[in-house]
Structure 1
């Protein structure tokens, strides 16, 4: 397991190094003393786990996660002197939240939980790939990489459930999950928005925001918003912000779709 440590306190980093060095199959891939460096190291080193302080210069631990795309985020353990952020850690799906000074046994338990989570993710990916291949060979669902698929397999509560692509209204990121809005219902899937986008036909679906993808057949109109931004109004009545960074690509793809 490759780990990046991010903490602005030298003694705290030294303590983490000492405790981690006593654990089997653990490699400290990098260290950071501020949030911006942590983001850069996570992107460059692609660790399995990041151990983050909450209060750091430049970016705090939560801002580090927000700066990363869902697909870039490793498993996370927060190590901090403050217990007031435990609920926030839960909301961003942290593996654990340990208080300083870090206790060796608590850290070991947290790392073991992270290892189990990482192994479970790997098993899920393998299982979905095998099921996709089996269903495709039987004439059921198209493989994950085939944009012509009329259904998608999504991982919901440990079950793989097929969803009709044409029934999807829009999709939003939700931490380590995506939330699919399907015929006025919501389905949660353990996936990233970037991975989901790759599975969808780009002539039928478009990214409108860092955290949202829409079915082009559900787009009713664009409405002017503040500061040059626009809102996408769906036929379902929902209004979603169109980010300026995605506007040109969205309008181009939407135009091609309607030609």
Structure 2
């Protein structure tokens, strides 16, 4: 991948013009376009959670791990645990935050709370998170996590 900066005095001071060129629309190109579209969308710092009996305001930076349990999501935070009924992919879209990486078919982690990765059975990894929380990292999603960590 090649990228460069060019000054263009015809643009207004706050204007940025981006052109992505490639021989074809590959998965890598689509990834760049998706990244650029998410870059402009501001990630929320607080997300409302509808629990069984009330509405809670969750500070996103306190969220450590998200895990699927049957038809519910379990949200492990620095201050406790929430259980909500929402699909994982929908919750990830609501987060709209590149710090939350999907590490398995049923889980997300906040890489800001990742303390270590340990080898587990059959090529999987185990993510050790803040507060001694743990999450399985499947081989299928390990590459995404490594990319997010700059490896």
Distance, in Å, in 2 between the alignment partners of 1:183 and 1:235 is 8
1: CA distance, partners of 2:87 / 2:44:
19
TM-score (structure 2 length as normaliser): 0.67
**1:59-103, Cα deviation, whole Å (9 max, x unpaired):** xxxxxxxxxxxxxxxxxxxxxxxxxxxxxxxxxxxxxxxxxxxxx
Higher RCO (Cα < 8 Å, 6 or more apart): 2
Aligned residues: 111
Q: Which has the larger radius of gyration?
A: 1
Q: What are the ranges of 5 or more consecutive residues in structure 2 without an aligned counterpart?
A: 1-40
Residues 37-73 of structure 1: CA deviation (Å, up to 9, x unaligned): xxxxxxxxxxxxxxxxxxxxxxxxxxxxxxxxxxxxx
SS state at 2:149 partner: helix
Per the alignment, residue 185 of structure 1 pairs with: 80
CA distance in 2, matches of 1:255, 1:220: 15
Please state whether the residue corresponding to 2:43 is helix, strand or coil.
Answer: coil
Task: Give how far 1:213 is off.
Answer: 0.6
Separation in 1 of the partners of 2:121 and 2:71?
A: 30
Instruction: Please give the per-residue CA displacement for 1:137-167, whole angstroms capped at 9, x wherever unaligned.
Output: xxxxxxxxx5421101111015322111011
Query: How far apart, CA to CA, are the structure 1 residues paired with 2:42 and 2:50?
Result: 19
CA distance 1:238–1:227, shift in 2 (3 Å): same
Q: 2:139 is matched with which residue?
A: 244
Shift of 1:184: 4.5
Q: Does 1:175 align with 2:70?
A: yes
Q: In structure 1, what is the equivalent of residue 10 of structure 2?
A: none
In 2, Cα distance between equivalents of 1:228 and 1:178: 26
Higher share of residues assigned helix: 1
Is 1:220 paired with 2:115? yes
Point out 4+ residue stretches in structure 1 off by more than 6 angstroms: none
TM-score by length of 1: 0.40
Q: Give the SS at the match of 1:255.
A: coil
2:148 equivalent in structure 1: 253
Q: Does 1:194 align with 2:75?
A: no
Structure 1 vs Structure 2 CA RMSD = 1.7
